[in-house]
Amino acid sequence: MPSLERAPRRPEPAGGQLSTPRLRIDTPVRAGLDPEELSLLVREVRDAVDRENPWAAGAVVVAGRGPVIAVEEAAGWAVRYASYDAEADRGVELPPEARVPMTAATPFDLASLTKLFTAVAAVQQLERGRLGIDARVATYLPDFRAAAEHGITVRQLLTHTSGLRPELPLYDCPSHTARFELLRAEAPVDAPGTYCYSDLNLLLLQYALERVTGRPLDVVIREGITGPLGMTATGFGPCPDAAATEDQRQPWAKADRGMLRGAVHDENAWALGGVAGHAGLFSTGRDLAVFCRTLLAGGSYGTARILGPDFVELMLAPPGLGFAVDQPWFMGALAGRGAAGHTGFTGTSLVLDRATDTFLVLLANTVHPRRRAPDNRVRVAAADRLARAVRGG
């Protein structure tokens, strides 16, 4: 878990470079945030979890401004259900003594928040000159025939404008060889330049990163991002202590795997061994706060620098490279002046707002005990509260 300080520290020289302040726990007032609005933010997340038909079995919310964590709260259950009863259309609850309460340190299956780490790893390679933002993917993956034929670029992968469809049924392939062959042969369904959010973009980016670095993605992310930042609770699974996700069964899911806890929820990431560019990471609210703070500080945290400020700007400027920018449907009132972030299918989300130097991490296991249509109202309400907290109500 990354270190937190209880008292302010001034940046000080270390190893020949200035250090940026690390996160510390302090009061909303010290963070320049309205305490009443943050109290309402926490209450509304708790109410969403504690009601009769909960938004999620449990949730963790972390919010702050500058180097201060002003909110770090957990509600509900990391594990509440033994299974899902399809006939009754409800979860089969565990007896109270067998349930696992949610804590602020509970890891979550991040789902598509993994894409943000893959994007940062790619921008690191842009900074080092190993990738070109407008280079053709075929430069790095000449054996990916369809991508080469259609001239798909690195920028198009990062902005979801490659024209590739949202996903492929890799989980149905009989072998890793068959999965890779399916990806190599996959052609765009729309003209490159057309926006279509696709997991395939980040999978191709993963393979490009692995080719240019000579290392698997989990090592690239650990050595380039989570290790330097001290994010010791972040990594690819298995993660036995994580919040439970879904009783994964057909017909509502794509595979029959039973109740999942600590194994990646995404079926394609699972089929690929748990390490994938689009899904597979597990993390905690506090670790993700460090990630947000690093980007808000221009790519540095403490004495670690994972990106230069110019490349952070390149990544977070509209339309965003890997990051969604100014999307009110989950950022609420934080959207509008360059806020960046993402959501994950399992119920995860984060937003960082450079205009106000604020961050909001909201992690929930909304797919426990089974998946359902996304409901972003709690995310929007929390973002609205944080935006009002900055303004003083």
pTM score: 0.94
> pLDDT value at position 182?
96
In a domain, 44, yes or no: yes
In a domain, 315, yes or no: yes
Q: Which domain range does residue 297 map to?
A: 14-108+282-391
In a domain, 373, yes or no: yes
> pLDDT value at position 286?
98
In a domain, 40, yes or no: yes
Low-confidence stretches of the chain (pLDDT < 70) are: 1-17, 393
| Angle (CA) 227 233 234, round 5° | 65
In a domain, 327, yes or no: yes
Q: Count up the domains in the chain and report the number.
A: 1
> pLDDT value at position 19?
87
Per-residue three-class SS string for the chain: CCCCECCCCCCCEECCEECECCCEECCCCCCCCCHHHHHHHHHHHHHHHHCCCCCCCEEEEEEEECCEEEEEEEEEEEECEEEEECCCCEEEECCHHHCEECCCCCCEECHHHHHHHHHHHHHHHHHCCCCCCCCEHHHCCCCCHHHHHCCCEHHHHHCCCCCCCCCCCHHHCCCHHHHHHHHHHCCCCCCCCCCCCCHHHHHHHHHHHHHHHCCCHHHHHHHHHHHHHCCCCCEECCCCCCCCCCEECCCCCCCCCEECCCCCCCHHHHHCCCCCCCCCEEECHHHHHHHHHHHHCCCEEECEECCCHHHHHHHHCCCCCCCEECCHHHHHHHCCCCCEEEEECCCEEEEEECCCCEEEEEEECCCCCCCCCCCCHHHHHHHHHHHHHHHCC
Give the distance, in angstroms, between the CA of residue 11 and the centroid of all CA atoms in the same chain.
Answer: 28
Q: What tens digit of pLDDT does each residue of 212-247 get? A: 999 999 999 999 999 999 999 999 999 999 999 999
The token pair that represents 75 in the structure block: 């509600």
In a domain, 148, yes or no: no
Q: What tens digit of pLDDT does each residue of 35-91 get? A: 999 999 999 999 999 998 999 999 999 999 999 999 999 999 999 999 999 999 999
> pLDDT value at position 17?
57
> pLDDT value at position 10?
30
CATH code of the domain covering residue 100 = 3.40.710
In a domain, 179, yes or no: no
Residues 258 and 308: beta-carbon distance below 8 Å: no
Count of residues in the chain: 393
